[in-house]
Amino acid sequence: MDTPHAERLRTELYPEIQPYASGMLPLDELHTMYWEEAGNANGVPVVFLHGGPGAGAVPNHRRFFDPTHYRIVVYDQRGAGRSTPLGELRNNTTPLLIQDLEKLREHRGIERWFVFGGSWGSTLAIAYAEAHPQRCLGLVLRGIFLCRKREIDWFLYGIRNFFPEAWRAFAEFIPEAERGDLLAAYYRRLTDPDPAVHMPAARAWSVYEGSCSTLLPSPETVDYFAADTVALGLARMEAHYFVHHIFLPENALLDNLDRIRHLPAVIVQGRYDVVCPIVTADELARAWPEAEYIVVPDAGHSAWEPGIRAELVKAMERFKRSDFPGR
């Protein structure tokens, strides 16, 4: 008997590919954005939104998408990765990141595109789609983060219930007298102009997040988060956005879901995601029942968890079908 169509969908990452175009797009008098395109220049556009904020994109992010079908757009958000200046907090807000996406879309001559993002990328994807629903073909969201106060407090304090060793290293980097407000204490150090002050703080913050991002220990993940470019962009930007409540009203993303309910969407969530706990994804799915909600039973937060990786690839494979909503 034939296997159902859904079961025949590809689940493995596509082979490594190189961009066919890349560049630096000036955003304002201060920021310049790195962007690249890979795959089929005449294909269906999809834009990849990296996490953090501030983590930057990597070559493997191109591999979630069929390069014969998709026009794959990958970029580094302002202040992150190869965008310049790295770790710059001035002129860095969620509304400006939304504006940057529109500038990139127009610069590349794209009418509509799929929006694919995980963790902070899911936050920005929802915010962008709510601002510009007419520009979206659909959304794929992973490791849902709505950046509300209780989610930020969980990151700063709640994770110790599952990763006490990693949390202890994170908290004890700060002198005991300042530990009542870890965010403020880290923010002071991360915004200090002296690299001897901000870089150790950035590594402590970033390694903490990397250590808690996978279901099973992953030294490779921790090493990636410990690298200077990732650590500085990630830690400084996350603290900046947390301190400023992502520059949006509390619960704004859920409150404005009506703007995007008509768009096809897939939500992929690891059951044991400790960085962005499943309760947030569950809340989003209940508020957006039209979206397809997939819980991966044996995964944490990272997009590279085998089950999450497979579901993300499958989601983009389903979007290829001519009978899929939105096509």
Give per-residue pLDDT as tens, 179-195. 999 999 999 999 999 99
Q: Which two tokens stand for residue 314?
A: 């499958």
Token pair 């190869």 in the structure block, residue? 82
User: What pLDDT shows up at residue 6?
Assistant: 45
Rounded to whole angstroms, how far apart are CA atoms 219 and 148? 30
User: What pLDDT shows up at residue 8?
Assistant: 82
Cα–Cα–Cα angle for 232, 237, 240, nearest 5°?
A: 130
Question: Is there a contact between 114 and 139 (Cβ–Cβ < 8 Å)?
Answer: yes
| 5-147+247-318: CATH architecture | 3-Layer(aba) Sandwich (3.40)
User: What pLDDT shows up at residue 3?
Assistant: 39
CB atoms within 10 A of CB 293: 18
Question: How far apart, in Å, are the Cα atoms of 162 and each of 81, 126, 154, 181, 189?
Answer: 30, 28, 11, 20, 26
Question: Is there a contact between 57 and 74 (Cβ–Cβ < 8 Å)?
Answer: yes
Q: Which two tokens stand for residue 136?
A: 């979206």
CB atoms within 10 A of CB 94: 22
Token pair 């079961």 in the structure block, residue? 7
**What would the pLDDT profile of 291-301 be if each residue is shown by its tens digit?**
999 999 999 99
Cβ-based neighbours of 157, under 8 Å, separated by 6 or more: 167, 182
Question: Is there a contact between 265 and 122 (Cβ–Cβ < 8 Å)?
Answer: no
Q: Which residues are catalytic?
A: 119, 273, 301
Domain map (residue ranges) of the chain:
5-147+247-318, 149-246
Question: Is there a contact between 214 and 300 (Cβ–Cβ < 8 Å)?
Answer: yes
Token pair 């939304």 in the structure block, residue? 98
Question: How far apart, in Å, are the Cα atoms of 245 and each of 16, 148, 196?
Answer: 37, 7, 27
Rounded to whole angstroms, how far apart are CA atoms 61 and 174? 34
**What percentage of the chain has pLDDT greater than the value 70?**
96
User: What pLDDT shows up at residue 322?
Assistant: 61
Q: Which residues pair with 33 in a beta bridge?
A: 25
**What would the pLDDT profile of 119-166 be if each residue is shown by its tens digit?**
999 999 999 999 999 999 999 999 999 999 999 999 999 999 999 999
Question: Is there a contact between 76 and 82 (Cβ–Cβ < 8 Å)?
Answer: yes
Q: What is the DSSP letter of 2?
A: P
